[in-house]
Amino acid sequence: MSDLYDRHRAVLPDWLALYYEDPLEITHGEGRYVWDAHGRRYLDFFGGILTTMTAHALPEVTKAVSEQAGRIIHSSTLYLNRPMVELAERIARLSGIPDARVFFTTSGTEANDTALLLATTYRRSNTVLAMRNSYHGRSFSTVGITGNRGWSPTSLSPLQTLYVHGGVRTRGPFAHLDDDRFVEACVADLKDLLGHTRPPAALIAEPIQGVGGFTSPPDGLYAAFREVLAEHGILWISDEVQTGWGRTGDHFWGWQAHGRNGPPDILTFAKGLGNGMSVGGVVARAEIMNCLDANSISTFGGTQVTMAAGLANLTYLLEHDLQGNARRVGGLLIERLRAVAAKVPAVREVRGRGLMIGVELARPGTDEADPQAANAVLEAARDGGLLIGKGGGHDTSALRIAPPLSLTVAEAEEGAAILERALHAVS
């Protein structure tokens, strides 16, 4: 493995993050498990960053990819593409957005980039509202609106970004308030901010912040924001790259926890739809999607083989009610982890919903983030046969747990037991 690591370092950028002191090469997977180059098996609680949504090597998806690859893999968007139209039709119906149009990309970064292009063109403004502690991708424009210092290497941007309170419930100036007063304070802050600037193009927000450590506001915050935004004609972009497709259990889309005023104007998606294939996209009302007055194409967005994967994966998810499974098994897993946390002083909070769970670590007796402890638990979990992620806006001190949505109760208990031993070992 050290030979591969040395070769990696010789040809790839220093800033390309790798987990673990001894980086891991994953060679194959099945169901909720993966194997490394030494033949060791791990229970996968991170799914390639929430991307293996249903299961590793899901037969329905691998068959669809193989059959499509045997016909044609790619032709570009310059030609009619039946799998792309079929998947767009399904996503348009599922989105909840009226008169919806769908544009496919190759990643969540590109999807958010496209959403920003649409919003700023439609509104003729380059000012964007974003949430503190947010993450929206690694392109020049999406880095420029990301509200997480650890993932934003430059302040240069084609956009003027104004950051709004509310994405983190238990930190910041309003953390001491109850939910209703928290929402009121965030809305008041938004109103005050808008009184000092020309009307922005849009607010972009993750219903649950992914890289930020699976933090979220009280349900209804973005609905309350929407009322204020609508008074100014400002669009709402819901970044569903990590929260879409039923992962939160309670809802198919994260925006639905804030949906009393209807769906967002623009919705972005990626990651889990292709179950590992490179697919992302944007959904918007026709008047917004069609506002561009120049030609455009996507060479790789919507290519036939990724569309075949997306169709097969989405069909499997819906037919097997994986959203319901995320709600049931995720609820059990959260309660199990909260019971563990009650006995571990280093755990500040267990949060999340469905199979999108954050475990934040802090120095015992304080709110001071403890990234060293998070790293140590990550390593100890791997030693025990469990792969998890990490994140957070406060020195990456949160463990991120997001298994494939087909996780069984027995596998949830297996993973929780390994994580419990890792937490106790580090504590």
How does DSSP classify residue 369? B
Contact 393, 213 (CB under 8 A): yes
Predicted TM-score of the model (pTM): 0.96
Contact 136, 145 (CB under 8 A): yes
Question: Could you read off the pLDDT of 99-108 as tens digits, one per residue?
Answer: 999 999 999 9
Side-chain half-sphere CA neighbours of 261 within 13 A: 18
* Dihedral pair phi/psi, residue 379, rounded to 5°: -65, -45
Give me the helix-helix angle, 304-319 and 59-71, nearest 10°.
150
Question: Could you read off the pLDDT of 381-411 as tens digits, one per residue?
Answer: 999 999 999 999 867 899 999 999 999 999 9
Q: Domain 62-319 falls in which CATH fold?
A: Aspartate Aminotransferase; domain 2 (3.40.640)
A 10 A CB-CB count for 307 gives: 26
Distances (CA, A) of 374 to 22, 50, 379: 16, 19, 9
Sheet with 386-387, side-by-side order of all strands: 26-30, 33-36, 41-44, 386-387
* Residue that has been written with the tokens 């946390």 in this structure: 341
* Dihedral pair phi/psi, residue 337, rounded to 5°: -70, -35
Domain boundaries, the chain: 2-57+322-426, 62-319
Report CA torsion sign: 17, 21, 25, 28.
negative
In the prediction, which pLDDT does 1 show? 56
* Dihedral pair phi/psi, residue 116, rounded to 5°: -65, -40
| pLDDT string in tens for the chain (427-residue length) | 579 999 999 999 999 999 999 999 999 999 999 999 999 999 999 999 999 999 999 999 999 999 999 999 999 999 999 999 999 999 999 999 999 999 999 999 999 999 999 999 999 999 999 999 999 999 999 999 999 988 888 888 999 999 999 999 999 999 999 999 999 999 999 999 999 999 999 999 999 999 999 999 999 999 999 999 999 999 999 999 999 999 999 999 999 999 888 999 999 999 999 999 999 999 999 999 999 999 999 999 999 999 999 999 999 999 999 999 999 999 999 999 999 999 999 999 999 999 999 999 999 999 999 999 999 999 999 999 999 999 998 678 999 999 999 999 999 999 999 999 999 998 8
- Tell me how far apart the alpha carbons of residues 242 and 82 are, in angstroms, rounded to a whole number: 27
153-186 in b/e form (b: 16+ CB < 10 A) is eeeebebebbebbbbbbebbebeeeeeeebbebb
Q: Domain 2-57+322-426 falls in which CATH fold?
A: Aspartate Aminotransferase, domain 1 (3.90.1150)
In the prediction, which pLDDT does 336 show? 98
